Structure 1
């Protein structure tokens, strides 16, 4: 005849095999024979807990405790049942009682950490997880949850280390690989993140989080495999809004703007509260030139996530493109960023360090564009010349890419410091420790800008230069490098910074090596005049199109070339053909060209007779590239900094007859140039050499003016 112990042993065997119904029946048989049997009552409670019946679990485990209050396991499992019932404070108390009874009880410490984490008491949870790990070597699950708690606290470096330790304990721990990848991605280390996520996917190919984050890691590296990863993520889980978000980002990177917008819209249909999807949709629409839709997306993103500083930066930037843009409006839009993201940091600005009176001036420059990028091309010649004018350079590189221009920046720097993986707070601390006399910003509110670093005021004197075309709006920004073309006398009051006017232009252009040879204007050989615009679509508006239509009406056989990266997208090209037609410009008079290499782009610049500058946001790099090919750029400046680029460059290059005073004058000047082929030919023959020999490309001349101006800021 079976004894009570035999029945209990058989029930436990069923339990261990996962046969919960049979186990419960066995435990009940024991309790029928011996009411209150503590082990049977406890194990029956555990079986109910595992079956998803925490209320029954609590009842039976409490019965066991009434019979034996000294059993630590009973209190620990009671805590798990209470946690499942949502009674978290009681759960914490139960786990603590288990630990009091058995101080080395690693599982109870782990469960205590889980309960504390669920209560949002994450620092206490971290302590509990660490204690569990100390008591049980190889406790991978505790290391994993420690990593999760640290991630939630924003301590991503510590989190990835915890996940790495969990993987050392259990190399097949898929979630640890996946979460380590996410932490590395948050740290700005996409190559390492990709490796971790690839390992997770090797273990579980359909892991949704790893698929989605691998897309982001590949995108951050500019890897073409991102699109494939994004498609796999969507196929693995079509209901995952984050997967659609990643697919949209991959499509946008490939200039498939219409497809990207549809992916973001799908993400929002699945999760209307996904602020990142609204923000990304805004960028896609902005790139397509749809300003109203872009502004709407940014505002919806901020309504959901007011902390998204990059979105508010983009909203301030959009104000520069709006018809009727004014200096007062630009200042207000940029100060709105500072009011939300900068003002809370002012109380913690450090006391400025005193600079030694003698010795060279130490200047830090922070940029993500120490490369073939407009900001890099505008700054490189001056940066290379500054050391000869007594300036030590610390270059803080917020980038992973490198090219020939990067090598030149590195050669000019006394210190080259990669900072892409650092948070704003950590980067500010690093710069503060380096103690440069001045910190220069080359990005402002553009992509890769770090206004959150400058808002922390790590350096006593901070200066904006070259990479952003407006006031930064930051109370922490002391000065802005400009010239009298961009900021004429009397306009200073509508800038938040002190204006440092350079004698010519505020930049020195570095033309690309290997630019195509100069050729005569196409119209000189009898071809119909061709007008061209090489600017982003965001700069175009109804007023610009109306002016172009008037020009083409005046010259009935003239043609229009539009070239910009976004026109690689068929949806976007069709959109603008419709807009041009609505403005009175027939589609058969327009040629549209998308992305090409830089040298191919300059060949296209040479294929037009006259370039048409948009307004109120003028061309900058596009104007310089077009002028380098000998082509005049007709411009209509306004009062904003961003409306006056072409005015400045044309003036410094000595090109006359291109700066209009009104829309009618803009039309007249464009027509006049197109009808003067000999004048066009003369400009082409001499302009490049004049630019190369003049101040517009003279980095040493600009450095000779900039260095003492900077020195004057620090006394």
Structure 2
């Protein structure tokens, strides 16, 4: 068998190397055959070496350029893959495989439009090209062109009846669109072809979780984890499904069946960190928190951060649902962070170059995967103002999948750093920027943004109300809030130093208001009924809230209450189970809608006579959206900042018509507004007249500018020190 290309002597004529391509065609052809065998065997290094040598011999060899680019794509090096495949297509534009692989490379870096164009080119050349049809359907689905996506995935299924991938992708599309029965059918068909298809089985588990078939879902995740134990997404899916069960013994048994022997030390803390998503009673809340405290006491000093990727893989993170309990979370959050410990390595910022004297203050906004809209919504306007003043440099550290979307939504002067799930590696990359201030929009919505601050990628780190509760992490210096929403002695609630602006700490853009697409009849309500809407995330409904809803329903015999469920049908089922115990005599007048598109949500909001804020953890973005539409939102300020944002908005507007003094007053206000059309109209009119101060807030932009300037100088002094 011939060896690598250098063993093939070039044909010679008169003692010189021949330039006659006819004479070297066989040599190159044999070399390409050897390279392909290496390539198919997974020996990319050997294959790439031969492809490169073929190109040296014949720079117009389109297949060599294409296959060299394909190796780049398969190795995850899309930035090198794309120009190589493009070079192949410049030589020969008639290669459908090259167009399809170029589409796959674009898709891998989140460039959906370019991927769609490449896949379409492949399909034009070869209408039954399965990979191109599959990729095109997948990308059209991500672009929101659902009908077209279904069409092309259907063509891919017809073109290769024994290929499970198009069926799996069709199931994933149906899952994203909430078409759970269709998703269930497609994914089962894919698994009948290939029972080991990890993505299909994982997505089937997600479908079953959302359908409330939690035990079946857990079985799916346990099966795939046995084959892919290092896939963090699978552990996350298992964790979410176990959260719906919230039975400690069941959770322990589930983890015992999938944890490797080396990870058994995580069993108890994994089990105790799973917090019930819908609490059935205040007793359940208190019992859970006591159990967690005991476990954290036993686990103190473990210093788990020494193997942070193990924590990331198994999705061990401070319980997300703690802030919805209406309790002081600082002791628990600090205890969890103390258990995690401190990295042995010096802070990531100390490993970077020093800042340039006199240079603009450098702000960096790190984002976890698919958390880009939190930055755009709450800080996009502020970033515009900071850049315009010319005194700041802004970098967004984001995952490649979100890069293109952010580029479209943020100012062109924003710079980007592409990071990945390797949290320590990402911290070092951010540290190399020599940023002055790291502003975390969220800490604790996932493992990545929870563990990143531990590595101190900048001298100053700031948290804010994307997660409106203390982080408990010693490396986070400040928590940014507002004096409008913090209660007396608020400093006691934070492990960070508390900074309070005079206005709200966001520059929120006014929502685009369009005429409602549906009236209340479309949602099953009559004009005679009085519609009270509590349209918050369903897990915000604390057990203390049930009695308030019941009192409204008892005092207004025409009252109906609208709630909106989450992604999982089981969450609504858990809430109904609670209502059966707490308010059984009136629960038939509470309607829980499934999750709905944004335009339907806005229509339902505007169909309500009055909107109700939740207790303990109230509206945030929802308050801005409701008030932006001129809708009255009755609120009862809570003990902690997370229950006081709506009141803060009203304080900015100098209105208190919808702000309750206590629970009885909350019920009274809701009944008055719902039953008095003139009062309701007057409140709506004044909200519309006064709500401009909430949006594109120039005062907030100026306060943030002064704050970041001050923190930037503090950072530089700290770096020098």
Q: Smaller-chain TM-score range? A: 0.5 to 0.7
* CA spacing shift, 1:610–1:237, aligned 2, 3 Å: same
* CA spacing shift, 1:268–1:714, aligned 2, 3 Å: closer
**Rounded Cα–Cα distance in structure 2 between residues aligned with 1:295 and 1:388:** 56
Partner of 2:701 in structure 1? Answer: 703
CA drift at 1:498 = 2.4
**Count of aligned pairs:** 552
CA drift at 1:562 = 1.2
* CA spacing shift, 1:541–1:327, aligned 2, 3 Å: closer
**Rounded Cα–Cα distance in structure 2 between residues aligned with 1:229 and 1:520:** 34
* CA spacing shift, 1:628–1:182, aligned 2, 3 Å: closer
Partner of 1:508 in structure 2? Answer: 507
Q: Does 1:332 align with 2:289?
A: no
Residues 413-458 of structure 1: CA distance to partner in whole angstroms, max 9, x if unpaired? 5234262656334433433333222222223222595344333222
Q: Does 1:317 align with 2:316?
A: no
CA drift at 1:257 = 0.6
Equivalent residues in 2 for 1:621-636 (5 A)?
621-636=621-636
Equivalent residues in 2 for 1:278-289 (5 A)?
279-284=236-241
* CA spacing shift, 1:293–1:703, aligned 2, 3 Å: farther
2:205 equivalent among 248, 256, 260: 248
CA drift at 1:362 = 1.9
* CA spacing shift, 1:319–1:297, aligned 2, 3 Å: farther
RMSD: 5.3
- Judge conservation of contact 1:279–1:301 (CA < 8 Å) in 2: no
* CA spacing shift, 1:457–1:533, aligned 2, 3 Å: same
Equivalent residues in 2 for 1:203-222 (5 A)?
none
* CA spacing shift, 1:365–1:207, aligned 2, 3 Å: same
Partner of 1:350 in structure 2? Answer: 350
1:140 equivalent among 38, 56, 72: 38
- Judge conservation of contact 1:365–1:394 (CA < 8 Å) in 2: yes
CA drift at 1:215 = 8.5
* CA spacing shift, 1:436–1:239, aligned 2, 3 Å: closer
CA drift at 1:214 = 6.5
Residues 152-178 of structure 1: CA distance to partner in whole angstroms, max 9, x if unpaired? xxxx9995579x9xxx9xxxxxxxxxx
Partner of 1:498 in structure 2? Answer: 497
Q: Please identify the structure whose Cα radius of gyration is greater.
A: 1
Q: What secondary structure, in the 3-state scheme, does the structure 2 residue paired with 1:702 have? A: helix
Partner of 2:604 in structure 1? Answer: 604
**Rounded Cα–Cα distance in structure 2 between residues aligned with 1:700 and 1:471:** 27
Partner of 1:73 in structure 2? Answer: none
* CA spacing shift, 1:204–1:610, aligned 2, 3 Å: closer
Partner of 2:554 in structure 1? Answer: 553
Equivalent residues in 2 for 1:545-584 (5 A)?
545-566=546-567, 569=569, 573=572, 576-582=575-581, 583-584=583-584
Runs of 5+ unmatched residues, structure 1: 1-103, 107-132, 148-155, 169-180
- Judge conservation of contact 1:244–1:264 (CA < 8 Å) in 2: no
CA drift at 1:555 = 1.9
CA drift at 1:331 = 2.9
Partner of 2:710 in structure 1? Answer: 712
Partner of 1:613 in structure 2? Answer: 613
Partner of 2:290 in structure 1? Answer: none
Equivalent residues in 2 for 1:284-299 (5 A)?
284=241, 290=244, 292=246
TM-score normalised to structure 1 length:
0.63
Partner of 2:220 in structure 1? Answer: 267
CA drift at 1:548 = 0.9
* CA spacing shift, 1:282–1:654, aligned 2, 3 Å: farther
- Judge conservation of contact 2:610–2:674 (CA < 8 Å) in 1: yes
CA drift at 1:614 = 2.0
**Rounded Cα–Cα distance in structure 1 between residues aligned with 2:630 and 2:249:** 37
**Rounded Cα–Cα distance in structure 1 between residues aligned with 2:167 and 2:449:** 26
TM-score normalised to structure 2 length:
0.62
- Judge conservation of contact 1:535–1:619 (CA < 8 Å) in 2: yes
Equivalent residues in 2 for 1:468-507 (5 A)?
468-507=467-506
- Judge conservation of contact 1:295–1:315 (CA < 8 Å) in 2: no
- Judge conservation of contact 2:363–2:435 (CA < 8 Å) in 1: yes
**Rounded Cα–Cα distance in structure 2 between residues aligned with 1:379 and 1:465:** 11
Q: Does 1:257 align with 2:255?
A: no
Partner of 2:144 in structure 1? Answer: none
- Judge conservation of contact 2:367–2:398 (CA < 8 Å) in 1: yes
